[in-house]
Amino acid sequence: MVRFSLGRSARPQQHAAVRSRNRRPQQAQPSGGDPPPPPVPPEPEPEPGPPTGGDPAPADPEVPRLTVTQVEQMNVEARVTDIYRVLWGGSPNTQSIILELWRDQHIEYLTHGLRHLGPAFQILDANRPWLCYWMVHPLALLDEVLDDDLEDDIVDFLARCQDKDGGYGGGPGQLPHLATTYAAVNTLVTIGSERALSSINRDNLYKFMLRMKEESGAFRMHDGGEIDVRASYTAISVASLVNILDVELAKGVGDYIASCQTYEGGIAGEPYAEAHGGYTFCGLAALIMLNEVEKLDLPSLINWVAFRQGVECGFQGRTNKLVDGCYSFWQGAAIALTQKLVMVIDEQLKSSYSSKMPSGDDACGTSSSGCASEKLSSAVDYARFGFDFVQRSNQVGPLFHNLALQQYILLCAQVLEGGLRDKPGKNRDHYHSCYCLSGLSVSQCCAMTDTNSCPLPQHVLGPYSNLLEPIHPLYNVVLDKYYTAYEFFQPSD
């Protein structure tokens, strides 16, 4: 069971046995922050005479040896425990102050980054549309409106990143890439002006995506680039968002993503690799947009994601890895998506808990959407799937501890000077600011049953002023901005 606090972990424990390889170490440390050294094996008893072979005495089999990962995990738990002790020891008024979202500082940090970045950022020269997205999107979450001149500058810059043959590169004149195309389109959708949305050349964008399409159904990130689930998600997300997704682009994607689901239940970047939180979100969201989500083993996926939330209250990205604030979105949004898929999950549980569902080539899926052959009709309105999905009510309450996740973000990820970070001891950055705040929005809204209502105060940790703008969880853009783009890209009568 996911715990809201570190209470059990904070108790000293005896080193009695080596923990399982597949479990995160639960041993917390004293409040000092540095873990105690691993236990030293006792000196061997003196022998009656010298050893005959000159071999050293064997180590005590009862004393475990800690791995580097276990020591790092205990260090993180100790830091987080120290932070949470301050919260637990405070009065209700003090706790409310401690749990406040520092809006003004975050806005200043993000706005300053849009106007000026130092020389150290030259290493991200091929990721400049991402930098725009990592700042523009969290500002929208904070309900901060950019001034017109800054918006125009961003639109003009992204227009220079748009390749003449379709797609967006990492900067002007750079190779078009699906990841930076996703970042550029999401940024323009978040700005939301007619000038921003009309700057997207959808005809060339469609041609670019067809060039990235593989016979297997998957996508390449760029010409000659890697093939993975991230490429499939970014292609399907952009195509759905700007209403160019059709049968040709959708064909085979679902089967490729399903082949990347691992024995653990999560989704890997490619077949036979390790389950990963980012790829799990990407694969699940893409299949929802394609209306083929029944191709995944959803009960197994939920089980894997839910157990990635640890005693620190945040999420880890993979088994036996450290907590990381960015997975507040990647894992938190993935499991939040499944709250709207209860009918599919119930059917899968009735059919078989342990086996994967048959593919569309062999039989009809179990969801109400019908057979794959019906979905591949040329009349399919793929853009409608994303619209209808967000209109559904949550069919079950949160499947993770949403208040605990908010606690981790507010106490362990916020930086006093503005911006958010991976974990205590790390520096702030725009990437983690974007995805920590996105995860905070998801965790505030996931307890709602009516999609048109606001979260209740008991679902928002700290003062109610912490409430962020809701997002469309499939695309990770603010919901109002999504509706504007959806209407803009509808075909004219």
Catalytic residue among 276, 295, 472, 481: 276
**Left if phi > 0, otherwise alpha if psi is -120 to 50, otherwise beta: which for 192?**
left
Give the closest residue to 355 by CA, choosing from 300, 302, 307. Answer: 300
Token pair of 415 as six digits: 């930086």
Please give the full DSSP string across 404-445, using - where no structure is assigned. Answer: HHHHHIIIIIB-TTS-EESSTTSPEEHHHHHHHHHHHHHHHH
Catalytic residue among 423, 432, 459, 481: 432
Catalytic residue among 163, 228, 297, 422: 422
Give the closest residue to 345 by CA, choosing from 364, 366, 359. Answer: 366
Phi, psi of 79 (to 5 degrees): -60, -45
Residue 429 is among the residues annotated as catalytic for this protein: yes
User: Distance between alpha carbon 33 and the CA centroid of its chain, in Å?
Assistant: 28
Is the distance from CB of 442 to CB of 340 less than 8 angstroms?
no
Exposure b/e, 120-158, CB count within 10 A at least 16 = b: eeeebeebbbbbbbbbbbbbbbbebebeeeebeebbebb
What does DSSP say about strands 420-421 and 428-429: parallel, antiparallel, or unpaired?
antiparallel
Catalytic residue among 327, 431, 435, 475: 327
At residue 244, the 3 state secondary structure works out as coil
Residue 295 is among the residues annotated as catalytic for this protein: no
Residue 422 is among the residues annotated as catalytic for this protein: yes
Phi, psi of 299 (to 5 degrees): -60, -40
Residue 276 is among the residues annotated as catalytic for this protein: yes
User: Distance between alpha carbon 9 and the CA centroid of its chain, in Å?
Assistant: 26
Residue 346 is among the residues annotated as catalytic for this protein: no
> How big, in percent rounded to 5, are the helix, strand and coil portions of the chain?
50, 5, 45
Catalytic residue among 132, 161, 326, 445: 326
Q: Which amino acid is at 327?
A: Y
Q: CA 226, CA 229: separation in Å to the nearest integer? A: 10
Q: CA 333, CA 340: separation in Å to the nearest integer? A: 12
Catalytic residue among 79, 233, 324, 434: 324
Residue 482 is among the residues annotated as catalytic for this protein: no
CA distance to 90, 104, 279, 424, per residue, from 78 (Å): 19, 29, 29, 10
Catalytic residue among 153, 246, 255, 429: 429
Catalytic residue among 321, 340, 421, 459: 321
Catalytic residue among 213, 318, 428, 459: 318
At residue 472, the 3 state secondary structure works out as strand
Residue 324 is among the residues annotated as catalytic for this protein: yes
Give the closest residue to 372 by CA, choosing from 284, 234, 252. Answer: 252
Catalytic residues: 276, 318, 321, 324, 326-327, 422, 429, 432
